[in-house]
C-alpha cells in the first residue's frame, strides 16, 4: 500500500517541487494538499501535473479530514506548529521543512508526538550537502572551542535565523558551548553588533537581495581559522530527495528528531 501523504504548502517554491517528486514515485500518494489561494481546485491542475489529482484545501484542519500516514509541513512559521500538532492529534506522523520554529515549539511538538506514539522529523535543510555541513561542524566543534555563525538569505525571508542555522546551533550546543573572550554582555558599543545568541552560538543574520540561503560557520583558535560554508542554489530540487526519504522513514521514529541524518546512514 502506498504511504498516504498530506502536503501543506503544496503550491509553494519548496512544496511544489516535492509534490512533483511524489508524483514520480510508486510508493507515495498525495491524498490532500493545503494552499489558501488554490483551495477548491485539484493540485494537478494548479501545478500542471496530471498525475496529481488530490484536492487542495485552505487549511491543514480541512485537509486532515482525509486519512493520511504522513503530514508534510512546508508553509510558514506562523501556522506551522498548529498544523503539526493537528496532524499528530489525528494520528499522522509529520515531516517538517518549515523554518522559524523555536526550541520551545520543538519541545511541545516532541511531547505531543511521544504522547501520540508518532514520529516527527524536522530538517532545517533537506539537502544532502547541508546535512554534511552539520556533521562536519559537529566534528570541528569537538576540537575547536570557539565559533560564530553567519546566516545569509534573500531580503524577503521573514524569519531569522534560517531553519538551517537554528538546527546547526542546536546541534552544536550538544557538543559544547562556545565562550567568547569578551563576554557578549560586556560588549562596548551596541550589544546587537555581536549578533543573537541562538542555542549558545553567536548568529549574524544577513538579509540582502541576491542571496538564496547560505550558512557559514567560522571556527577559530589562536593563529588558525576554519570556515565551513553551505550555499543553496536557486531551485528547490536538492530538497526533494531528502524530503522523500524523510516521508518514507518517519514512521520508524517516535518523538521529535531533528536533521535528516536521523534517518540517513552517513557511516562513521
Look at strands 196-198 and 224-231 and give their pairing. Answer: unpaired
- Measured from the CB atom, is 144 or 153 closer to ligand NAP? 153
CB-based contacts of 236, cutoff 8 Å, min separation 6: 13, 14, 16, 17, 18
| Residue 163 engages ligand NAP in binding (rule: CB under 6 A) | yes
Quick count: other Cβ atoms within 10 Å of Cβ 127? Answer: 23
The window from 3-11, 18-26, 134-142, 188-196 that contacts ligand NAP (CB under 6 A) reads 3-11
Using rule CB under 6 A, residue 178 touches ligand NAP: no
> What gap in Å lies between CA 30 and CA 236, rounded to an integer?
19
Contact residues for 58 (Cβ-Cβ < 8 A; gap 6+): 34, 35, 36, 39
Number of residues that bind ligand NAP (CB under 6 A): 26
The yes or no reply on residue 212 touching ligand NAP (CB under 6 A) is no
Selected from 5, 11, 204, 216, the binder of ligand NAP by CB under 6 A is: 11
Interface pick for ligand NAP out of 18, 19, 32, 34 (rule CB under 6 A): 34
Q: Which is nearer to ligand NAP, 29 or 75 (CB)?
A: 75
CA-based nearest residue to 202, from 191, 211, 188, 212: 191
Does 15 engage in binding with ligand NAP (CB under 6 A)?
Answer: yes
In a 3-state reduction of DSSP, which class is residue 174? Answer: coil
Tell me which of 5, 43, 46, 75 binds ligand NAP, using CB under 6 A.
75
Contacts with ligand NAP by CB under 6 A lie at: 9-15, 34-38, 74-76, 79, 97-100, 123-126, 163, 239
Amino acid at each position: 500500500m502506498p504511504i498516504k501523504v498530506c502536503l501543506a504548502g503544496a503550491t509553494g517554491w519548496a512544496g511544489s517541487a516535492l509534490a512533483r517528486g511524489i508524483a514520480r514515485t510508486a510508493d507515495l500518494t498525495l491524498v490532500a494538499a493545503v494552499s489558501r489561494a488554490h483551495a477548491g481546485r485539484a493540485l494537478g491542475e494548479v501545478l500542471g501535473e496530471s498525475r496529481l489529482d488530490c484536492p487542495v484545501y485552505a487549511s491543514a484542519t480541512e485537509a486532515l479530514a482525509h486519512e493520511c500516514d504522513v503530514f508534510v509541513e512546508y508553509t510558514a512559521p506562523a501556522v506551522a506548529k498548529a498544523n503539526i500538532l493537528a496532524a499528530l492529534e489525528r494520528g499522522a506522523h509529520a515531516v517538517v521543512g518549515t523554518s522559524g520554529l523555536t526550541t520551545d515549539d520543538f519541545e511541545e511538538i516532541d511531547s505531543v508526538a511521544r504522547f501520540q506514539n508518532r514520529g516527527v522529523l524536522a530538517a532545517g535543510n533537506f539537502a544532502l550537502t547541508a546535512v554534511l555541513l552539520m556533521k562536519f561542524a559537529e566534528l570541528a566543534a569537538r576540537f575547536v572551542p570557539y565559533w560564530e555563525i553567519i546566516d545569509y538569505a534573500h531580503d524577503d525571508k521573514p524569519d531569522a535565523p534560517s531553519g538551517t542555522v537554528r538546527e546547526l546551533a542546536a546541534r552544536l550546543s550538544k557538543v559544547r558551548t562556545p565562550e567568547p573572550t569578551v563576554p557578549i554582555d560586556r560588549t562596548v558599543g551596541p550589544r546587537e553588533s555581536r549578533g543573537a545568541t541562538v542555542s549558545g552560538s553567536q548568529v549574524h543574520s544577513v538579509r540582502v537581495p541576491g542571496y538564496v540561503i547560505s550558512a557559514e560557520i567560522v571556527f577559530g583558535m589562536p593563529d588558525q581559522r576554519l570556515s565551513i560554508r553551505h550555499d543553496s542554489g536557486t531551485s528547490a530540487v536538492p530538497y526533494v530527495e531528502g524530503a522523500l526519504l524523510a516521508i518514507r522513514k518517519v514512521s520508524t521514529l517516535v518523538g521529535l528528531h531533528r536533521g535528516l541524518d536521523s534517518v540517513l546512514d552517513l557511516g562513521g
